[in-house]
């Protein structure tokens, strides 16, 4: 295997069983009692590779499975099928004990800084916990210095170390969440909508902070967001998700200049641009289908303007184009689009 | 000619245990028939309170302490509660951010629409249903007849927002106040909802006040913009003027802070600090601690809105004012 890979996902599948108890599963059909399970097919057969030092963004609308993908990658959910490799080591089969060293190298930042910090812990307690947990032999003084150093780096005054989360604004809380992730000197950070809950001027501050931290520490990001202008600004490569599958994967520049997949095209045309009055955007038919009952063939066919009979029947595979873009679409493959 | 809506020096205060907070401080605006106005600012700027104050929905401990709201020449904040109800939801409709919170989850869409109509007009149930059907068609709801019998939970977020818009349209209002109507929606749905609002405003000649934090959305829909900061208007003017040439340092900061205008990967222009809370608004210009061009006068004296040209371009900044005075003196 190539040594230059930081993280590899192979055919990852994550479904959630939401059928409830036995009685909830039973239904009466044609005079017979039938037991049926209901599963949400959140992530279906996703393969991708993340290289060191890059910012890999995953975009898609709500409910497309991007957060589930992030959480499965970091081990918060066990995958149903598929393999996850960190560098060359397979990590999805490890016991929690064996996983510990990897947990220190992979950290996560969550969307809502109001919900992701423990309200009953001071900033000091929040920041010290991961360091002491992963490194029990560390001296008290070292921990203290480290907390102060990281707080300084994320732009929160180290004097406020004994305050509680409610004493901070949303932007500052998100800085503290970032500080918590940085405390264990990770290599890889998964950021799940880190700026979506913040105001524009604060959003710029946090994005700058994330970009700075990446430069200084050589971090790799997996960045989950629905905000396409943010993606365009910070990403190296972008993956577009729709209903649990990848439809397009390309370098940020390539994707925004020449989107290939019809869904990507529609998504990009919907971004409101500053000052451009009344731009025509690609209108999609209908609505996103439910992930409980996935459409046959290409999951996008019901809303696609170019879908034909093959799209309804056959699932398109992700294939590489000359430009380096990976796209899963029969139309582009056949040269119809 | 009277304007459709005229707000003059509106001031809203909240009487709290430890004293009074001024949430809105001297907001003035005018809106004509069919005109679209954007009210922009970050959370806590007072945009929503302005919207609520216009339709007299400020509840205790808040109250309108000064100024007036004139709608079609009638002073709204002096009307009795009953007379106000004839205007609110009838001549002026409001659309809120979260469509799930605005719709009653235990009543069908049809019931809610008929109820709204019957509250304002003497109309039979059957006739009201027909109007409801017509409005659902207007918001491009697929198979509207079937939809009338469904409950809000059976719709997606975008469809719910369409229903909310249809309800707002029921009484053919002259003015719609939309408070972050697309913030809870995905980009593709947001684009559809915004297109729809724009089309409706044009075809029905409705006035629109769009309250949002998203400058990009506002720039595509509205003709005029008011930028608010800490309860005050800091800049106002025609949308294209403000977007292409913002004068106030806060507006400039907001526009520059948007990713997309810059080379990818470069540092974004950030406004340092954050919006002050209402309890400790700084003296002088409220923006001065975050401003990069602030001078000594900004720390002491509150800047007033001054006209920059004859198209209604105004800004409240000592520095801009000084520059313009100097430029004028030079040209003379």
Q: Lowest-confidence range among A178-182, B149-153, B273-277?
A: B273-277
The rounded percent of chain A whose pLDDT value lies above 90 is 64
Predicted local distance difference test score (pLDDT) of residue A1: 45
B85 and B121 fall within a common domain = no
B82 and B136 fall within a common domain = no
Q: Is the pLDDT of residue A23 over 70?
A: yes
A290 at B interface, C-beta within 8 A: no
Assign B68 a pLDDT band (cuts: 50, 70, 90). Answer: very high
Question: Is B116 inside a domain boundary?
Answer: yes
The interface pTM score, or ipTM, of the predicted complex is: 0.81
Predicted local distance difference test score (pLDDT) of residue A277: 55
B193 and B204 fall within a common domain = yes
B184 and B270 fall within a common domain = yes
Of A211, A229, A279, the CB nearest to B267: A211
Over residues B112-123, the pLDDT tens digits come to 999 999 999 999
Alpha helices in chain B (DSSP H): 47-54, 81-87, 99-102, 109-120, 125-138, 144-147, 157-169, 187-204, 215-221, 239-244, 249-256, 296-300, 318-331
Question: Is B263 inside a domain boundary?
Answer: yes
Assign A299 a pLDDT band (cuts: 50, 70, 90). Answer: very high
Q: Which residues of A42-62 are buried (b: 16+ CB within 10 A; e: fewer)?
A: bbbbbebbbeeebbbbbbbbe
Which residues span the domain enclosing B226? 5-91+173-274
B207 and B269 fall within a common domain = yes
| B167 or A283, greater pLDDT | B167
Residue that is last in its domain, among B274, B304, B326: B274
Predicted local distance difference test score (pLDDT) of residue A84: 95
B79 and B117 fall within a common domain = no
B122 and B177 fall within a common domain = no
The mean pLDDT value for B195-208 works out to 91
B52 and B30 fall within a common domain = yes
Which residues from B are below 8 Å from A when comparing CB atoms?
A: 42-43, 156, 158-159, 186-192, 194-195, 198, 213-217, 219-220, 240, 243-244, 253-255, 257-262, 264-265, 267-272, 274-275
Residue that is last in its domain, among B257, B274, B291: B274
The overall average pLDDT reported for chain B is 90
Tell me how close the Cα of B190 comes to any Cα of chain A, in angstroms. Answer: 8
The mean pLDDT value for B245-264 works out to 87
Question: Is B311 inside a domain boundary?
Answer: no
Assign A132 a pLDDT band (cuts: 50, 70, 90). Answer: very high
Predicted local distance difference test score (pLDDT) of residue A247: 93
Over residues B132-147, the pLDDT tens digits come to 999 999 888 888 888 9
- Which residue, among A174, A201, A213, A228, would best test binding to B if mutated, counting the most B CBs under 10 Å from its CB? A201
B224 and B126 fall within a common domain = no
Tell me how close the Cα of A142 comes to any Cα of chain B, in angstroms. Answer: 30
| CA count, 13 A, side-chain hemisphere, A8 | 12
The mean pLDDT value for B218-227 works out to 92
Over residues A75-103, the pLDDT tens digits come to 999 999 999 999 999 999 999 899 999 99
SS (H, E, C) chain A: CCCCCCEEEEEEEEEEECCCCHHHHEEEECCEEEECCCEEEEEEEEEEEECCCCEEEEECCCCCCHHHHHHHHHCCCCCCEEEEEECCEECCCCCHHHHHHHHHHEEEECCCCCCCCCCCCCHHHHHHHHHHHHCCCCCHHHHHHHHHHHHHHHCCCHHHHHCCHHHCCHHHHHHHHHHHHHCCCCCEEEEECCCCCCCHHHHHHHHHHHHHHHHHHCCEEEEEECCHHHHHHHCCEEEEEECCEEEEEEEHHHHHHCCCCHHHHHHHHCCCCCCCCCCCCCCCCCCCCCCCCCCCCCCCCCCCCCCCHHHHHCCCCCEECCCCCEECCHHHHHCCC
The mean pLDDT value for B202-228 works out to 92
Residue of A nearest to B199 (CA): A278
The mean pLDDT value for B272-276 works out to 84
Distance in angstroms (rounded) separating the CA atoms of residues A262 and A268: 10
SS (H, E, C) B119-177: HHCCCCHHHHHHHHHHHHHHCCCCCHHHHCCCCHHHCCHHHHHHHHHHHHHCCCCCEEE
Residue A49 structure tokens: 């590779």
Name every chain A residue with its beta carbon within 8 A of the beta carbon of B252.
none
B112 and B178 fall within a common domain = no
Q: Is the pLDDT of residue A279 over 80?
A: no
- Which residue, among B270, B278, B289, would best test binding to A if mutated, counting the most A CBs under 10 Å from its CB? B270
Over residues A235-256, the pLDDT tens digits come to 999 999 999 999 999 999 999 9
Residue A279 structure tokens: 């731009």
Assign B190 a pLDDT band (cuts: 50, 70, 90). Answer: confident
Predicted local distance difference test score (pLDDT) of residue A198: 84
Q: Are strands A32-35 and A220-225 parallel, antiparallel or unpaired?
A: unpaired
Name every chain A residue with its beta carbon within 8 A of the beta carbon of B264.
232-235, 252-253
Predicted local distance difference test score (pLDDT) of residue B1: 65
Tell me how close the Cα of B219 comes to any Cα of chain A, in angstroms. Answer: 5
Q: Which residues does B203 contact at the CB level (< 8 Å), separation at least 6?
A: none
Tell me how close the Cα of A136 comes to any Cα of chain B, in angstroms. Answer: 37
B106, β-bridge pairs: none
Of A61, A201, A230, the CB nearest to B259: A230
Question: Is B180 inside a domain boundary?
Answer: yes
B268 and B193 fall within a common domain = yes
Residue for token pair 């002088």 = B284
- Which residue, among B180, B249, B274, B277, would best test binding to A if mutated, counting the most A CBs under 10 Å from its CB? B274
Q: Is the pLDDT of residue A58 over 80?
A: yes
Name every chain B residue with its beta carbon within 8 A of the beta carbon of A275.
219, 240, 243-244
Q: Which residues 51-80 of A are in CB contact (within 8 Å) with B?
A: 61-62
Over residues B249-258, the pLDDT tens digits come to 999 998 888 8
B119 and B177 fall within a common domain = no
- CB–CB of A276 and B260 under 8 A? no
The rounded percent of chain B whose pLDDT value lies above 70 is 100
A39, β-bridge pairs: A17
A211 at B interface, C-beta within 8 A: yes
- CB–CB of A201 and B253 under 8 A? yes
Q: Is the pLDDT of residue A300 over 50?
A: yes
CA distances from A292 to A19, A180, A295, B19, B171 (A): 11, 36, 10, 54, 39
Name every chain B residue with its beta carbon within 8 A of the beta carbon of A61.
186-189
Over residues B85-128, the pLDDT tens digits come to 889 989 999 998 888 888 999 999 999 999 999 999 999 999 99
Residue that is last in its domain, among B243, B274, B305: B274
Of A232, A273, A284, the CB nearest to B216: A273
């Amino acid at each position: 295997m190539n040594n230059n890979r930081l993280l590899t996902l192979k055919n990852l599948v994550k479904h959630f069983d939401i059928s409830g108890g036995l009685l909830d599963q039973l239904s009466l059909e044609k005079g017979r009692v039938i037991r049926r399970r209901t599963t949400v097919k959140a992530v279906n057969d996703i393969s991708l590779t993340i290289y060191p030092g890059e910012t890999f963004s995953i975009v898609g609308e709500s409910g497309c499975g991007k957060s589930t993908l992030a959480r499965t990658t970091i081990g918060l959910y066990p995958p149903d099928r598929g393999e996850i490799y960190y560098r060359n080591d397979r990590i999805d089969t490890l016991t929690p004990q064996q996983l510990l060293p990897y947990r220190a190298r992979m950290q996560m930042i969550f969307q809502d800084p109001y919900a992701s910090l423990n309200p009953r812990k001071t900033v000091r307690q929040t920041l010290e916990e991961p360091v002491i947990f992963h490194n029990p032999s560390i001296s008290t003084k070292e921990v203290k210095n480290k907390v102060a150093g990281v707080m300084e780096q994320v732009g929160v005054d180290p004097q406020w170390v004994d305050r509680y989360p409610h004493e901070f604004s949303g932007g500052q809380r998100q800085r503290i969440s970032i500080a918590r992730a940085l405390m264990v000197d990770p290599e890889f950070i998964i950021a799940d909508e880190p700026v979506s809950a913040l105001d524009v001027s604060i959003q710029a501050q946090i994005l700058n902070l994330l970009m700075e931290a990446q430069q200084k520490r050589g971090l790799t990001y997996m960045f989950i967001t629905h905000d396409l202008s943010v993606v365009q600004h910070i990403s190296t490569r972008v993956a577009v998700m729709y209903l649990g599958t990848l439809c397009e994967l390309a370098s940020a520049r390539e994707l925004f200049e020449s989107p290939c997949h019809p869904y990507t095209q529609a998504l990009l045309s919907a971004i409101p641009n500053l000052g451009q009055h009344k731009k025509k955007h690609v209108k999609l038919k209908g609505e996103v289908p439910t992930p409980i009952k996935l459409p046959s063939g290409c999951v996008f066919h019901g809303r696609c303007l170019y879908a034909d009979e093959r799209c309804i029947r056959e699932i398109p595979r992700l294939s590489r184009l000359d430009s380096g873009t990976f796209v899963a679409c029969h139309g582009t493959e056949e040269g119809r689009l | 000619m009277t304007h459709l809506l005229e707000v003059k020096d509106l001031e809203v205060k909240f009487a709290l245990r430890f004293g009074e907070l001024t949430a809105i401080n001297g907001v003035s605006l005018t809106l004509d028939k069919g005109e679209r106005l954007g009210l922009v600012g970050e959370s806590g700027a007072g945009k929503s309170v302005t919207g609520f104050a216009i339709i007299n929905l400020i509840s205790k401990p808040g109250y309108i302490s000064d100024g007036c709201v004139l709608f079609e020449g009638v002073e709204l904040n002096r009307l009795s509660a009953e007379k106000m109800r004839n205007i609110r939801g009838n001549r002026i409709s409001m659309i809120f951010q979260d469509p799930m919170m605005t719709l009653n989850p235990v009543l069908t869409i049809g019931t809610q629409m008929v109820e709204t109509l019957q509250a304002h007009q003497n109309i039979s149930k059957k006739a009201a249903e027909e109007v409801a059907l017509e409005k659902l068609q207007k918001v491009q709801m697929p198979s509207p007849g079937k939809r009338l019998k469904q409950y809000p939970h059976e719709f997606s977020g975008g469809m719910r927002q369409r229903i909310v818009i249809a309800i707002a349209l029921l009484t053919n209002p002259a003015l719609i106040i939309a408070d972050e109507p697309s913030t809870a929606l995905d980009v593709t749905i947001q684009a559809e909802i915004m297109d729809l609002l724009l089309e409706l405003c044009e075809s029905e000649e409705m006035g629109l006040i769009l309250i949002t934090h998203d400058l990009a959305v506002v720039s595509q829909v509205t003709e005029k913009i008011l930028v608010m900061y800490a309860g005050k208007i800091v800049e106002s003017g025609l949308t294209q003027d403000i977007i292409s040439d913002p004068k106030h340092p806060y507006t400039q900061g907001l526009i520059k802070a948007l990713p997309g205008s810059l080379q990818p990967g470069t540092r974004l222009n950030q406004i340092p600090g954050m919006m002050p809370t209402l309890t400790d608004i700084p003296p002088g210009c409220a923006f001065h601690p975050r401003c990069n061009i602030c001078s000594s006068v900004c720390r002491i004296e509150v800047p007033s809105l001054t006209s920059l040209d004859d198209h209604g371009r105004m800004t409240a900044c000592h520095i801009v004012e000084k520059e313009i005075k100097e430029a004028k003196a030079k040209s003379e």
